Amino acid sequence: MNIGKLKITNPVFLAPMAGVTDYSFRILCKEQGAGMVYSEFVSAHGIIRKNEKTLNMIRFTEFERPIGIQIFGDDPKVMGQAARMVVDMFSPDLIDINYGCPVPKVTKKGAGSAALRDL
């Protein structure tokens, strides 16, 4: 399976899940054969502020590759800036934008699925 130039050897992916897909769980899933793993989703605002807790959530090891980093936010410019920072700081294989989260804590800020309301 290919995503652009990225070749995935096993089509079993670990989906990005807040509070679940931390480093330990990603390693476990890779050891069990996951073809690709994702970080927990992280706030674009947290990234551009260089919040240490946020940055620690997306740090990864070479063993975890291929890996995707999922970001969420309410401002396309901030999200673009955050995506560039993530690429520059961590060089993940993929950047994923969260437009599906229905959790009120996220949507009340205009992020997640709320970002698609005006389409």
Domain limits, the chain: 11-116
3-state SS, residue 34: coil
CA proximity to 109, closest of 85, 83, 78, 84 = 78
Show which residues are catalytic.
101
Global confidence as pTM: 0.89
Say how many CA atoms lie within 13 Å of 43 toward its Cβ: 14
pLDDT of 66-113, one tens digit each?
999 999 999 999 999 999 999 999 999 999 999 999 999 999 999 999
pLDDT of 12-26, one tens digit each?
999 999 899 999 999
As its CATH architecture, domain 11-116 has Alpha-Beta Barrel (3.20)
Query: In this predicted structure, what is the pLDDT of residue 119?
Result: 72
Give the residue-averaged pLDDT of 52-69.
Answer: 97
| Beta bridge partners of residue 13, listed in sequence order | 36
